[in-house]
Structure 1
Amino acid sequence: MKKIVLFLVMCLSAFPVKADEGMWFLMFIERLNHRDMEKMGLQLTAEEIYSINHHSLKDAVVQFNGGCTAEIVSKDGLVLTNHHCGYSAIAELSSAEQNYLRDGFWAKERSAEMKPKSLYVRFFVRMDDVSKRILSKVNDKMTETERNKIIQQEIALIEKENSEGGKYTVSVRPFFQGNEYYYFVYQDYTDVRLVGTPPESVGKFGGDTDNWEWPRQTGDFSMFRVYADKDGNPAAYSKDNVPLQPKHYLPVSIKGVKENDFAMILGYPGRTNRWMPAGGIEQNVKYAYPAWVEGAKTGMDQMKKYMDKDATVRLQYASKYASTANYWKNRQGMIDALTKAGTAKTKAAQEAKFNAWANKPENKEKYGNVIATINKYYVETNLKSRHDNYLTQLLRTSAYGVAPATIGNALIGYYKETDNNKAQMLPKITALIGNVYGDFYAPAEKDILAAQLNLYASKGAEYGLAPEIAKMKAANNGDFTNDVNNAISKSIFANKEAITAFMENPKPEVIATDPLFVISNDLIAKFRAKSPEQLKADDDFAIAYRELVEGLRTSKLNAIQYPDANSTLRLTYGKVRALPADKRNDAKINNYTDMQSMVKKYKAGDQEFDLPARLLELNKAKDFGQYADKAGYMPINFLTDNDITGGNSGSPVLNGKGELIGIAFDGNIEAMAGDVIFDSKLQRTINVDIRYVLWIIDKYAGAKNIIDEMTIVK
């Protein structure tokens, strides 16, 4: 049997399969992609994917809380997304006594569904091209400041025209570095409630060790429900709200997948930079990303020290830690992949060809200095990029780094206002204080700030530190421990009790000299500061970058037809596709993992590789029900070669009929260069097999009420 399987794999490899690069606008699918998709296995019309006048697939795909994707899977507004996308909401609803993050949660009836404080989904209504309208208002004689002002004025008009009096959220976005503009119309629903989540040992199985790795065995999913008023309109949370009746929802297929099956993904990819010049790649690899990695790890180490000691602290910092860890490993993977692939050299070779074209007599006036301007900019900003990334990680991981300046400046403004304006401002300031100190543990914050200041003062000094930090470093020899301790002991921003006491008996004059405010305000001011020379360099670079992209498209030296990702709805298509055989995965073809491979990784009591006793019992009994593969194994994850990036987390993976076969949740670390340059050989999307999702809900959790809501295709 093994010889037959090996022969089949060799046959497949004899006919090379090309991964399909591209994150495509839905409005152009019929013109650019539909015929190619049909050849690969699509059975839907372009109208069934994107329609303004009729329900279509786009009506079942939502942006989840601004940073992920999710899909509607029932007529009653049931939402499926990743566990890591719902992570912060699950943590918020948890306590040390009722820890849904650790133990899981399943609402057996609608009344048990739980509402987090702040969570929304965004439905895509329509889009259109407004490039001619906007670009007709500007010309090459304008400065960047003049150009941007006029463009923003026109954008404001377009957004107002299409909002229907505030019914819709409208966003006009630039593409191809400002060479094209499109508007997007959305409708937001804010009453979104938790329906179910597996325990963290399932939803985050493998933890940081397996993150961005293949083979993978992670049940990365969670479930929510969208509620609306009785007429189906968005409404604030109310017990009178009813489950949304969506225009379209996805049927769920349990037929399974095999090598070369068609797979398409709709979602909201966050950011790619495939037009990035060679100098930008070099800057990221040598300056920006190493600083990001080191700064993130410094914050993580301090958080984890306290999270491991206290269950309540672990819940408080769970979301921040997970987010920091995710990008920490991602950026290190980017460094390794971009270096190994020689991406900067590839881009430099393309730019050399462009420069030759640009300096032909007919092109020289407009494009002749583009490459020189871009290269000069990166040389001048290398040290700044390193400094800014150390400072960014300080501000991202340290509440003391940001909160004192944010709250302090709000209070300074508040105490200067008249009584009428104060009445309007106070609720916002009170809410800000509640948000800052809601998930806050002072001992951890003290150590995070001290460690990050030590790192920043050491590694960011070559560019130039924030002035007050530089003074402190000169006096403390680079060890900020005592300075931080002293500042916290004297600060009104030390904790919620201190700021509350201050507001009950305010002395506004002390804010400006408060020691934590001085540190925080200094850091933020440094982060925002730009000299006239820097502003001029930024403007010159923006013009050159825009002209580079325009020139590359005009000259046909770059064949990319799709714009970079920027959190707008896109479609990507490809196939189920294996990676080369890997001894870590005993699957017959290295395009899936099964329950046995997960159990082999099981380590009782381990924070990353523990498994629930019930799951182990069900596996031992081979109680897989209708969700087992026809070959007998219980599938967990599978691979496709779709072109995705961050923001696609939670995206539906669909077969040719538009049926849900999986949920996208990760990529493979070997292809981390993919945000800059697509690797058709290595790039893969790691997906949760929908059969595993359903098995967890049905067999493990016994939440058959949720299964019964969905349309299951056998």
Structure 2
Amino acid sequence: MRDFLKGAPLSALAAAALAGLLLAPTVAGADEGMWTFNNFPSAKVKQAYGFSPDPKWLERVQLASVRLARGCSGAFVSASGLVQTNHHCARACIQQVSTAEHNHIKDGFTAAELKDEAKCPDMEVNQLVQITDVTQRVNAATAGKEGDAFSAALKEVQAAIQKECTGGADDTRCDVVELYHGGAYNLYKYHRYQDVRLVFAPEEDIAFFGGDPDNFEFPRYDLDVSYVRVYDKDGKPLNTKANYFPYASHDANEGDLVFTSGNPGRTERLDTVAELEYERDHALPDRLLYLAELRGILLQFTSQGEENGRIARTKLFTLENSYKALYGGLQTLVDPALIATKRKDEAELKAIIDADPALKQQYGDPWAAIAKSVEHFAVVATRYDVLEGGRSFTQSDMFTFARNLVRAASERALPDGKRLREYTDANFPFIRQRLLSNSPVYPELERVLMRMQLVYMQRQLGPDDPLVKKVFGNRSAEQIADDLVKGSTLGDPAERKRLLEGGQAALDASTDPMIRFAKLVDADALAARRDVEANVAAVQQKNAGYIAQAMFKVHGTSIYPDATFSPRVSYGAVKGYEQNGQHVAPFTTMGGTFDRATGAFPFALPESWLKAKDAINPSQKFDAVSTNDIIGGNSGSPVINKDAEVVGLIFDGNIQSLGGDYGYDGSVNRAVWVTVGALKEALAKVYHANRLAKELAGH
């Protein structure tokens, strides 16, 4: 048993009771689980499928898999640094290298030669190379501390561990990953690559065929793929000969065992009832209302001309995807059975702890402490979200630049362990890349977004709020937004570089209105953040750790941790499912794409596909489903067979999987992916991408 599982000894009575307790949401059923590489249930896979991944196999999969740092997954698929991921994962890059004259979102992109591969301005690829358990060190640093003191100690020890790990090297990234909501801590060491170039992307009309109506549905007919290449420090394609997934010679069949390695974002399967009820009653409804308002603003903007549509399409795409996913999560949470089951599990575990004096002394009542923190957050959540969280001014690129410059100047002057986490030596290269990138900024869109956020802040905080009064004075939201965007030079990467390198003196001397605005709101934003870190996050993390330790005593390491946007492996089988009394087959065909096409958006095929119709094998498997347990963040994950060969590319889940943040139902939850045969067929017969096809074939 690992060190973090050690605790006060159980009495005989408590041990017997705990051994018989079944916590339904935490014990992995068949095919359930997003497993860490250092705790993969190989014996369970062997029992179910007759194959046991050994440490060598897992290491190979780990090193061939990558994380796209801004929210997706991918995999090396050639000996020369070629990465396979989704079109929607590379979408920001595709738009950034587009212009009004060359719209690669609409028309696709193919680099005919190596020299034609286009640099992605702010894409970062991470390759996990080492995992180290640092639980004892973190727990020793935070022992006996509460609130502010706990938060400060945790931040300081994490920064120290990460700084030691990177050794000051910008090409190394180290993250202390909080597993089981603080029940364990692992140090993940990555190779960090920031020279990433676009190789191939199909047209949006086939990458997202069916649009929002088909999103999170099956059957599907999408070629949601893109290829990028990682380059080394010398500007040459990275040598990945030792660590890549070759393409399989044939597709997987129904019933085949398949694995996926990726970076699932965040799940709340181990959350308490109090946390889930707040999510259901407040957090999700508030977020959905905000996204609906933002969606209306963006739809109006995109309707005002083709160029407006081009520059806002990626933001609108991301928003609509988020809205549908969050709405699906809310539908899961409003099911009374989920909360009832969770409440029963909590009561049983709490009763066992209460019945044993040693356990009671060790853990107290962590559920009550978490519930109290939720009550506190309910009071401060609006201010936090509007100024610092997911409903803040950071919808604007120019404001985000300004905030990062303002905070970098002050935070980087502090000792590493005293800084906000994103400005530590280990983490700052990620922000610096974005600040210095040459990705385009669109003033007309910036004005619309800033105006909306100003109106939203005024409505949410109230016109009499002291900060609102300082921001508005005697001006309207439209006037303020216009002045901020027109007067700012932060769209110029050279100016951002000057301010970043100039430090606090340059920021103090700056007359840029967006810099001044970021300074104006920052004191209130940071106050809200520190309140939440000390009185909500610290309390929940400390007490969730106690709950996790109690669960470890029940199940040992048979529990998988909630997702943390860090590398995980899942396993499953190619398998259909039942929906509304009908069987949904596990595959679609490329020929079926033409049957589904209507010629009108979002069911219009690009011209390249219409021209290639007669050349395409109509019976070639196109998209597929399997029982792999995935969520958002897994987009771009490879689907591999037991020989570690690519048989597919994850791009979605079905509608039933939208509750995956809170649980997994193996009878209907499905991962949706493009088959390897369809990838080969499209590259060869639709796009005639011979250079890329040869590379994927190992030539």
TM-score norm. by structure 2 comes to 0.81
- Distance (whole Å) between structure 2 residues aligned to residue 129 and residue 410 of structure 1: 30
- Distance (whole Å) between structure 1 residues aligned to residue 194 and residue 508 of structure 2: 40
CA spacing shift, 1:206–1:136, aligned 2, 3 Å: same
Determine whether 1:572 maps to 2:570.
yes
Determine whether 1:648 maps to 2:656.
no
Deviations 1:369-411 (A, max 9, x none): 3222222222332243355445532423234654555567789
Determine whether 1:614 maps to 2:583.
no
CA offset at residue 639 of structure 1?
0.7
Whether the 8 Å CA contact 2:656–2:670 is kept in 1: the answer is no
Q: Which residue of structure 2 aligns with residue 553 of structure 1?
A: 552
Determine whether 1:367 maps to 2:363.
yes
CA offset at residue 691 of structure 1?
1.4
Superposed counterparts of 1:95-106, under 5 Å: 95-106=99-110
Determine whether 1:63 maps to 2:67.
yes
Whether the 8 Å CA contact 1:298–1:452 is kept in 2: the answer is no
Is the partner of 1:552 in helix, strand or coil? helix
- Distance (whole Å) between structure 1 residues aligned to residue 188 and residue 431 of structure 2: 32
Whether the 8 Å CA contact 1:94–1:315 is kept in 2: the answer is no
Whether the 8 Å CA contact 2:383–2:528 is kept in 1: the answer is no
- Distance (whole Å) between structure 1 residues aligned to residue 478 and residue 161 of structure 2: 54
- Distance (whole Å) between structure 1 residues aligned to residue 85 and residue 314 of structure 2: 16
Q: Which residue of structure 1 aligns with residue 597 of structure 2?
A: 602
- Distance (whole Å) between structure 2 residues aligned to residue 257 and residue 62 of structure 1: 23
Is the partner of 2:622 in helix, strand or coil? strand
Q: Which residue of structure 2 aligns with residue 35 of structure 1?
A: 43
Q: Once the two structures are aligned, what percentage of the paired residues are identical? A: 24
Whether the 8 Å CA contact 1:260–1:575 is kept in 2: the answer is yes
CA spacing shift, 1:494–1:288, aligned 2, 3 Å: farther
Is the partner of 2:261 in helix, strand or coil? strand
CA spacing shift, 1:130–1:339, aligned 2, 3 Å: same
Deviations 1:115-150 (A, max 9, x none): 2223332222121223234434553x3335445555
Superposed counterparts of 1:507-518, under 5 Å: none
- Distance (whole Å) between structure 2 residues aligned to residue 41 and residue 449 of structure 1: 54
Whether the 8 Å CA contact 1:41–1:656 is kept in 2: the answer is no
Whether the 8 Å CA contact 2:402–2:490 is kept in 1: the answer is no
Whether the 8 Å CA contact 1:107–1:195 is kept in 2: the answer is yes
- Distance (whole Å) between structure 1 residues aligned to residue 406 and residue 155 of structure 2: 31
AA in 1 matched with 2:648: G
Residue 197 of structure 2, aligned match among 190, 193, 199: 193
- Distance (whole Å) between structure 2 residues aligned to residue 276 and residue 302 of structure 1: 34
CA spacing shift, 1:525–1:396, aligned 2, 3 Å: same
- Distance (whole Å) between structure 1 residues aligned to residue 559 and residue 553 of structure 2: 12
AA in 2 matched with 1:663: L
CA spacing shift, 1:175–1:162, aligned 2, 3 Å: same
Q: Which residue of structure 2 aligns with residue 544 of structure 1?
A: 543
Determine whether 1:23 maps to 2:9.
no
CA spacing shift, 1:560–1:330, aligned 2, 3 Å: farther
CA spacing shift, 1:451–1:710, aligned 2, 3 Å: closer
Whether the 8 Å CA contact 2:597–2:605 is kept in 1: the answer is yes
Give the gaps of 5 or more residues in structure 2. Answer: 1-27, 413-429, 500-504
Give the gaps of 5 or more residues in structure 1. Answer: 1-16, 229-234, 415-427
Q: Which residue of structure 1 aligns with residue 418 of structure 2?
A: none
Q: Which has the larger radius of gyration?
A: 1
Superposed counterparts of 1:458-537, under 5 Å: 458-459=459-460, 461=462, 467-469=466-468, 480-484=476-480, 487-488=483-484, 492-493=487-488, 520-530=518-528, 537=535
Is the partner of 2:241 in helix, strand or coil? coil
Deviations 1:237-260 (A, max 9, x none): x3xx24524312222225323332
Whether the 8 Å CA contact 2:122–2:434 is kept in 1: the answer is no
Q: Which residue of structure 1 aligns with residue 673 of structure 2?
A: 687
Determine whether 1:284 maps to 2:279.
yes
Determine whether 1:249 maps to 2:244.
yes
Deviations 1:593-643 (A, max 9, x none): 22344334423252x322123313433x2x335xx6xxxx23221111111
Q: Which residue of structure 1 aligns with residue 692 of structure 2?
A: 706
- Distance (whole Å) between structure 1 residues aligned to residue 436 and residue 138 of structure 2: 41
AA in 1 matched with 2:145: M
- Distance (whole Å) between structure 1 residues aligned to residue 182 and residue 410 of structure 2: 38
Whether the 8 Å CA contact 1:67–1:647 is kept in 2: the answer is yes
CA offset at residue 338 of structure 1?
1.7
Farther off after superposition, 243-252 or 215-224? 243-252
- Distance (whole Å) between structure 2 residues aligned to residue 609 and residue 198 of structure 1: 16
CA spacing shift, 1:472–1:657, aligned 2, 3 Å: closer
Determine whether 1:272 maps to 2:258.
no
Q: Which residue of structure 2 aligns with residue 14 of structure 1?
A: none
Superposed counterparts of 1:386-405, under 5 Å: 386-389=382-385, 392-399=390-397, 402=400
- Distance (whole Å) between structure 1 residues aligned to residue 633 and residue 510 of structure 2: 39
- Distance (whole Å) between structure 1 residues aligned to residue 241 and residue 464 of structure 2: 53
AA in 1 matched with 2:634: N
CA offset at residue 559 of structure 1?
8.6
CA spacing shift, 1:465–1:634, aligned 2, 3 Å: farther
Whether the 8 Å CA contact 2:148–2:535 is kept in 1: the answer is no
- Distance (whole Å) between structure 2 residues aligned to residue 117 and residue 599 of structure 1: 36
Whether the 8 Å CA contact 2:576–2:625 is kept in 1: the answer is yes
Number of matched pairs: 644
Whether the 8 Å CA contact 2:575–2:625 is kept in 1: the answer is yes
CA offset at residue 492 of structure 1?
3.1
Q: Which residue of structure 1 aligns with residue 625 of structure 2?
A: 639
Q: Which residue of structure 2 aligns with residue 697 of structure 1?
A: 683
AA in 2 matched with 1:27: N
Is the partner of 2:34 in helix, strand or coil? coil
Q: Which residue of structure 2 aligns with residue 423 of structure 1?
A: none
CA spacing shift, 1:341–1:709, aligned 2, 3 Å: farther
- Distance (whole Å) between structure 1 residues aligned to residue 587 and residue 369 of structure 2: 47
- Distance (whole Å) between structure 2 residues aligned to residue 466 and residue 199 of structure 1: 47
CA offset at residue 174 of structure 1?
2.4
CA spacing shift, 1:475–1:194, aligned 2, 3 Å: closer
Deviations 1:551-582 (A, max 9, x none): 233355x9961122212221111111212156
- Distance (whole Å) between structure 2 residues aligned to residue 500 and residue 115 of structure 1: 21
Q: Which residue of structure 2 aligns with residue 46 of structure 1?
A: 54
Is the partner of 2:334 in helix, strand or coil? helix
Residue 146 of structure 2, aligned match among 143, 148, 164: 143
- Distance (whole Å) between structure 2 residues aligned to residue 598 and residue 473 of structure 1: 53
- Distance (whole Å) between structure 2 residues aligned to residue 575 and residue 386 of structure 1: 43
CA spacing shift, 1:411–1:710, aligned 2, 3 Å: closer
CA offset at residue 471 of structure 1?
6.9
Q: Which residue of structure 2 aligns with residue 421 of structure 1?
A: none
Is the partner of 2:185 in helix, strand or coil? strand
- Distance (whole Å) between structure 1 residues aligned to residue 159 and residue 407 of structure 2: 28
Q: Which residue of structure 2 aligns with residue 624 of structure 1?
A: 616
